[in-house]
Amino acid sequence: MRALLPLTVSVLALFAVIPASAQMKPDTAGMKTQSIEVTARPIATFARNGQEKPNPKLEWRGGLVLTSPSSYFGGWSGLLLSGDGKSLTAVSDAGMWMTGEIAYDDGERPKALRAVRVGALKALKGLPLRRARDRDAEAITLASGSVGKGTAYIAFEQNDRIGVFPLDKNGIGAPTKYLEMPKEAARMRADGFEALTVLAGGPNKGAVVAFAEHPLRGEKLHRGWIWGAGGPKGFVVPGVEGYGITDAASLADGSVLILERRFRWFEGVKIRLRHLAASSLKPGGTAAGEILLEADSAMEIDNLEALAVTEGAKGETVVTLMSDDNFNRFLQRTVLLQFTLKDAPNAAGKNENARSEKRASNEEAN
């Protein structure tokens, strides 16, 4: 009987999911940009039992459980933060964007999400994304300028593509173009492009890097691509077995953090954070990397799909994770978690990015 218990619980959980998934994601084709209320409940400790285990690579800063009465709140799969970590832009797999301001306690611990607005992502020429398979935004990263006035790359799965979108104080505008796709994209599963970043330094500074969530059909290793003068070229990421790659973020030296997630009915959700060296991110390369964090349901995790890297008030590197609740508020949560990355490459480039964003913000105010 004891051996059957996990299966019984899993089956019951599956039936619990069905009514929520039957509601599906909100239809955003005719959605209007609007302000919404978001409530933030602080997460005091990363470990649910309050007993933090020291991590030589990451130090817990704080977190939030985010809730809203709006039916448009949820599914957040990609995260973009300003250099100082205060301005937030997120994209949802329902074809939406969200902007807001993260408030901090003593400059370090997140305590609230304020001035939140949501709107619909658009197709070329500002047309609505009418098909659900066209709305599945999974990742966002800054292409140029600042979060308040610049451009971003947004990656979509199902209808796999990476678009260039303008950013301003009104949110995310219609795309201006799409990047050339790798020839291997034809062999992607339904969960295609899931992780995206622009290299902040290193030999390939400025290059776009994207990852598929799972290995391509007929392959066992995960793949990534780097966009250069000759178009997108592939490399492999071994060691991710059983996990999916759900997001990526570049550090100042051009190395990359990737977020990995795994779900099994018998064990729940597990996540990992892996560090890939800058030298391995090249056409034909092998980016094995070092695991910095492993966590399971004993920790305050959920379906973590979004990752961003910023700079704290003391110049430290801050890693922010955010979860996709699948619009299933009975069984899943939207959480925002923050850590300090110890011994991170000094962010000279990030300091300049933060100064550029501050200058851009001042120019907008004037």
For residues 70 and 118, what is the distance between their CA atoms, to the nearest angstrom?
A: 10
Q: What is the pLDDT of residues 213-251, one digit of tens each?
A: 999 988 999 999 999 998 999 999 999 989 999 999 999
Q: Does the pLDDT of residue 1 top 70, yes or no?
A: no
Q: Does the pLDDT of residue 51 top 80, yes or no?
A: yes
pLDDT for 39 = 98
Q: b vs e for 158-175, b when ≥16 Cβ sit within 10 Å of the residue's Cβ?
A: bebbbbebbbeeebbbeb
CB 319, CB 247: distance < 8 Å: no
Phi and psi at 66, nearest 5°, equal: -105, 130
- Mean pLDDT across the stretch 315-335? 96
> What is the distance of C-alpha 38 from the center of its chain?
19
For residues 345 and 341, what is the distance between their CA atoms, to the nearest angstrom?
A: 9
Q: Is the pTM of this model over 0.85?
A: yes
Q: What is the pLDDT of residues 295-309, one digit of tens each?
A: 999 999 999 999 999
Q: Does the pLDDT of residue 208 top 90, yes or no?
A: yes
Nearest alpha carbon to residue 94 among 79, 108, 74, 111? 74
Tell me the percentage of the chain whose pLDDT exceeds 70. Answer: 88
pLDDT for 144 = 97
Span of 38-47, 224-233, 354-363 with lowest mean pLDDT: 354-363
Mean pLDDT score across all residues of the chain: 89
Other CB atoms within a 10 A radius of the CB of residue 137 amount to 28
For residues 279 and 161, what is the distance between their CA atoms, to the nearest angstrom?
A: 26
pLDDT bracket for residue 322 (50, 70, 90): very high
For residues 194 and 359, what is the distance between their CA atoms, to the nearest angstrom?
A: 32
Q: Does the pLDDT of residue 146 top 80, yes or no?
A: yes
pLDDT for 107 = 79
Q: What is the pLDDT of residues 253-273, one digit of tens each?
A: 999 999 999 999 888 999 999
Residue 196 is encoded by which pair of tokens? 């995206």
Q: Does the pLDDT of residue 292 top 60, yes or no?
A: yes
pLDDT for 346 = 58
pLDDT for 189 = 73
pLDDT for 196 = 98
Q: Does the pLDDT of residue 47 top 60, yes or no?
A: yes
For residues 110 and 61, what is the distance between their CA atoms, to the nearest angstrom?
A: 8
For residues 321 and 332, what is the distance between their CA atoms, to the nearest angstrom?
A: 15
For domain 5-365, give the fold. Tachylectin-2; Chain A (2.115.10)
For residues 181 and 76, what is the distance between their CA atoms, to the nearest angstrom?
A: 24
pLDDT bracket for residue 345 (50, 70, 90): confident
Q: b vs e for 11-27, b when ≥16 Cβ sit within 10 Å of the residue's Cβ?
A: eeeeeeeeebeeeebbe
Q: How many residues does the chain have?
A: 366
pLDDT bracket for residue 22 (50, 70, 90): very low
18-27, 194-203, 338-347 — most confident range:
194-203
Other CB atoms within a 10 A radius of the CB of residue 331 amount to 13
Map tokens 């992780």 to a residue.
195
Q: What is the pLDDT of residues 167-192, one digit of tens each?
A: 999 999 999 999 999 998 888 877 78
Nearest alpha carbon to residue 135 among 78, 87, 209? 78
Residue 16 is encoded by which pair of tokens? 């619990």
CA dihedral 363, 144, 140, 212 (to 10 degrees): -170
Domain spans of the chain? 5-365
Residue 279 is encoded by which pair of tokens? 């030298």
Q: What is the pLDDT of residues 57-116, one digit of tens each?
A: 999 999 999 999 999 999 999 999 999 999 999 999 999 999 999 999 987 999 999 999
Q: What is the pLDDT of residues 29-39, one digit of tens each?
A: 999 999 999 99
pLDDT for 17 = 37
